[in-house]
Chain A
Amino acid sequence: MLILECPYCGVKAEETELAAGGEAHLKRFGPGSSDEEFHDYLFMRENPKGVHFERWRHANGCGKWFHAARCTMTLEVFGTYSAQTTEPPQEIKDKISEKRPDWTWRDIK
Chain B
Amino acid sequence: MSDPVSAMSGATFAGLAKVEDSGLQGMITLRGDLASAVLQAAVKAATGAEVPVSGQVALSDQGGVAWMSPDELLLLVPYAEVDAKVSELSEALKGEHALAVNVSDARGVFRLSGEGAREVLGKVCPVDMSAEAFKPGQFRRTRMAQVAAAFWLDHDGVFHIVCFRSVAAYVFNLLSASAHPQSKVVVY
The interface on chain B, measured as residues whose beta carbon lies within 8 A of the other chain's beta carbons, has a size of: 13
A11 surroundings in chain B (CB, below 8 A):
55, 140
What CA separation (Å) do A8 and B68 show in the bound complex? 11
What is the minimal beta-carbon distance from B123 to any residue of chain A, in angstroms?
Answer: 14
Query: Which residue of the partner chain B has the closest CB to A7?
Result: B70
Task: Write the B62-106 contact mask toward A (1 if CB under 8 angstroms, else 0).
Answer: 000001111010000000000000000000000000000000000
> For chain B, what secondary structure do more than half of its interface residues adopt (helix, strand, loop), or is it mixed?
strand
What CA separation (Å) do A13 and B70 show in the bound complex? 16
A16 surroundings in chain B (CB, below 8 A):
126, 143
Number of A-B contacts (CB under 8 A): 34
The interface on chain A, measured as residues whose beta carbon lies within 8 A of the other chain's beta carbons, has a size of: 14
Query: Which residue of the partner chain A has the closest CB to B54?
Result: A9
A48 within 8 A of B: no
Flag if A62 contacts B69 (CB, 8 Å). Answer: yes
Known: A9-B54, A11-B55, A60-B148. A17 touches B70 (CB 8 A): no
Interface residues of B (CB under 8 A from A): 54-55, 67-70, 72, 126, 140-143, 148
Interface residues of A (CB under 8 A from B): 8-11, 13-14, 16-17, 59-64
